Amino acid sequence: MTTEPSAPDEEERAALRDRISADSLTTRRDYLRIVATVSGGLVVGSTVVAAGVLSRHGDGSAPPLKVADALTPGQAVAFGYPGEDDRALAVKLADGTVVGYSAICTHLACGVLWQQDRGTEGELHCPCHEGVFDVRTGEVTAGPPPRPLPKVIMVEDAQGAVWAIGTARSGESERSGLCRGLRASDPALAGAAGCRADEGAS
Amino acid sequence: MSVPEGHYPENYHPGSDQPDLNRPVHERYPQIRATSGYADPRVTRTGPGPGAGTDQQPERSAALSARVALAVTVVIGQLWALTVATDAWMKGSTDTAWWCTGFSVASFLVVVLAWRISRQDR
Ligand code: FES
């Protein structure tokens, strides 16, 4: 630097004139400004995510829903629970267990399909990027999905009809999910059912 | 510097007949600057003499590069924190998501500091 201009204002003006008359270049200062803008955007993004802008399967509770009069082993049924648009999938496994999951892939929200002939007892497969979920637990066994599938809790009544009675989020236990649903609809009943305070706190 | 007699053909004289075109390059093309072609905007005043056309303040320049590197690294950390926040929120742990947001805010402050700390460096 040569002579220091008197006022900082003047100095800034001189710097600006210098910039404008120079060759068009992105300086490292400009990069810093761009990076700072991106950083601020990420703060905003993180805030809206934490505030709950993303939709999450199983938010809101619904009365039990009968999804099928009967299921034979290996058969799957698609339905919407708890809301019409909460696409879900129930499968009766070979040993008679009925499992239910959100049918929306946790990767980029493609539809998850039941593939009976894959894996040892069949698996849930997302064709978009070859995501694979364990049909018994909903855990990711292959591919890019970052989280297990949210569960839909299924029961079979004495007549063999299959009902959806609640939901559990990715990685949440069925019990905790049921308690959360119960607490939302009837807190007294949740206490009576033996839900501890930390179970299903959302 | 005078040209010795006999070095030019007869009736020849260097330069143009139009005096306008005989001005120095800098006067004829003010847009062409000492830095043109160097792609180095840090040079604000160069001149004849040793060091012309090079970094005027190499130590400041290195510090600026370090600041850019730091800011970029911090932003990568923020991207990671956003994925953690999304996963946590989806799993129902809202607290974790808010902690991640706090981390993001702290990172942002670091980036702003790196950007603003010394405004003269370029
Ligand atoms: S959307 Fe299912 S694997 Fe990518």
The pLDDT tens digits for A79-99 are: 888 888 889 999 998 888 899
Specify the ligand 1 atom closest to the Cα of A109: 1
- The residue that leads in pLDDT, B67 or A16, is B67
The pLDDT tens digits for A54-65 are: 888 877 777 888
- Asked if ipTM goes beyond 0.85, one says no
Residue type, A155: V
- Contact residues, chain A, for B80 at CB < 8 Å: none
Q: What is residue A191's DSSP assignment?
A: H
A51-55, A194-198, B72-76: range with highest mean pLDDT? B72-76
Is the pLDDT assigned to residue B52 strictly greater than 60? Answer: no
Q: Which of A174, A180, A178 is nearest to A200 (CA)?
A: A180
Is A56 in contact with B90 (Cβ distance < 8 A)?
A: yes
Q: Say what the pTM is.
A: 0.70
Report the percentage of chain A scoring pLDDT > 70. Answer: 89
- Contact residues, chain B, for A32 at CB < 8 Å: 67-68, 71, 111, 114-115
Give the number of other CB atoms < 10 A from CB of residue A179: 24
DSSP secondary structure string for all residues of B69-104: HHHHHHHHHHHHHHHHHHHHHHTT-HHHHHHHHHHH
Q: Return the domain boundaries, chain B.
A: 58-116
Query: Which residue of A106, A112, A125, A128 sits with most ligand 1 atoms within 8 Å of its CB, as the best mutation to test the pocket?
Result: A128
pLDDT category at A5 given cuts 50, 70, 90 is: very low
- The residue that leads in pLDDT, A30 or A48, is A48
Tell me whether residue A8 is exposed, middle or buried, using C-beta atoms within 10 angstroms of its C-beta: 0 to 12, 13 to 18, 19 or more. Answer: exposed
For residue B107, give the chain A residue with the closest CA.
A39
Is the pLDDT assigned to residue A161 strictly greater than 60? Answer: yes
Q: Which of A45-59, A181-195, B47-61, B74-88 has the lowest mean pLDDT?
A: B47-61
Q: How far apart are the C-alpha atoms of A151 and B119, rounded to whole Å? A: 53
Q: How far apart are the C-alpha atoms of B94 and B80, rounded to whole Å? A: 17
Q: Which of B55, B70, B80, B101 to mutate to test the interface with A (most CBs of A within 10 A)?
A: B101
pLDDT category at B33 given cuts 50, 70, 90 is: low
Q: How far apart are the C-alpha atoms of A187 and A200, rounded to whole Å? A: 11
Three-state DSSP state, A154: strand
- Contact residues, chain A, for B120 at CB < 8 Å: 15
The pLDDT tens digits for A106-127 are: 999 899 999 888 888 889 999 9
Three-state DSSP state, A50: helix
> Closest to A50 (Cβ–Cβ): which among B35, B75, B89?
B89
